[in-house]
Structure formats: C-alpha cells, structure tokens
Structure 1
Amino acid sequence: MADPKPALVLHLATGGEPLLFALTTEESGKLAGKLTQLVKAGAVETVTTKDHQEVAINFAHVAAAYLDDLTRKTTVFGMR
C-alpha cells in the first residue's frame, strides 16, 4: 500500500477548480479537528504545506473544505 499523501482541498465560493495543498501527516492532523469551525467562522488560518511553505487561507471565501488522500486513483465527493 502506498504512503498516504494528505491534502487540504478547498472549493472557493466563487467557483472554479478546487485548490489543493499537499500537507504533512502532522499538519493534516492539526487541521482535522478545526476545519469545520474555520469554515463556519470564516476565519483566517496559516497552514504549512508539505514543502514548508506557509499559506494564509481566508476561509470566508471557501464554500467547502476537506482533507483528502491524493494516493487514491479516483474520488467521488463524500465517498471513500
């Protein structure tokens, strides 16, 4: 089995293709417990990507956000 490749997936309220940010397993774990609240509150959060870049995300512009595993070949929203 391949190593997991966690990613933050953001669908912006304005539409278009989703934004994907590769994360470390540790950063993914940090976000897992607070992602829903960040979207509900429209908060700004700094996320550290897998390549150690810091990205400030304004969740007020995000319609949907979730953590996903990029090692899967196909994705159907809400299904594993």
Structure 2
Amino acid sequence: MPRFRRRGGNIGRRTRNSQLVQNRRLNRSAEDQLTDNENLRNQAVITRTNESQEQRNERRRANALRQRLARQRVTDTL
C-alpha cells in the first residue's frame, strides 16, 4: 500500500489554490479580462514568430492528430 503523502494529497480539482484562481477570475472587471486576453494573444504571437518552420509543422501535426483522436473517441462511444 502506498504511503500517505501530506503535501499534494488532494488529487481533486477543488484545491485551495484552484479556488483562489477561480475566485480571482470571477471578480475581474471587463477591462481586466480584455487586457488579459490581449496579453495572451500577444504572447502567442511572440512564441509563434520565434519558432522555426519545422517546429511549426510539428505543432500542427500534433494538433491535427490530437483532434483526430478526440473525434475518433467520440464516434467510438456513440
């Protein structure tokens, strides 16, 4: 039997930190949400401009494969 871990014992999604993050997001103003979204978009643009063509192709292949597998799982369950 595995030993009990004191730190990180909560394997659920409702940890104290996740609750704090969720509450912070809920209490943001509309302007804060817009600026955060813009910052995330800018960050994505910067990371994509810094990647090489090979890295871009590999990222696209991985995304396509992930989507294909997700669609296959949905059709298999139906």
Relative to the length of structure 1, the TM-score reads 0.21
Larger radius of gyration: 2
Structure with the larger strand share: 1
More contact order relative to length (CA 8 Å, sep ≥ 6): 1
Structure with the larger helix share: 2
Relative to the length of structure 2, the TM-score reads 0.21
